[in-house]
Amino acid sequence: KQEVTQIPAALSVPEGENLVLNCSFTDSAIYNLQWFRQDPGKGLTSLLLIQSSQREQTSGRLNASLDKSSGRSTLYIAASQPGDSATYLCAPGSSNTGKLIFGQGTTLQVKP
């Protein structure tokens, strides 16, 4: 059974800092991993999708890496802004079942 852990659970940083969010998963039989953002009271928005054959994926100030063999992914946010404040969730997709199982998320606050 896939278990997903995200560290830290919460993070507060001043504007402009670079930061790293961590995601670890127990079952490495995945075909991809997705990172999502969730604003309070809203649904989830997909940020990045990394295929299992890829090492990293970039979109603007976001960069996600994947080390499938060690069961780890990181989301790097460069030059953080107050608008980045949200909860970030990762979800590896099982290659056996097609399921996407979510971590508990990291709640980020970027202070002006």
Interface contacts to other proteins, rule CB under 8 A = 31-32, 34, 36, 42-46, 49, 51-53, 89, 91, 93, 95, 97-105
Cis before residue 8, ω within 30 degrees of 0? yes
Q: Report in angstroms how near the CB of residue 15 gets to other proteins at its nearest.
A: 28
d(CA 86, CA 41): 11
How many Cα atoms sit within 13 Å of 38 on the Cβ side? 15
User: Of the two residues 66 and 80, which places its CB atom closer to other proteins in the complex?
Assistant: 66
User: Of the two residues 80 and 108, which places its CB atom closer to other proteins in the complex?
Assistant: 108
Q: Is residue 75 within 8 Å of residue 82, measured between CB atoms?
A: no
Q: Report in angstroms how near the CB of residue 99 gets to other proteins at its nearest.
A: 6
Which DSSP symbol is given to 83? G
Q: Report in angstroms how near the CB of residue 24 gets to other proteins at its nearest.
A: 15
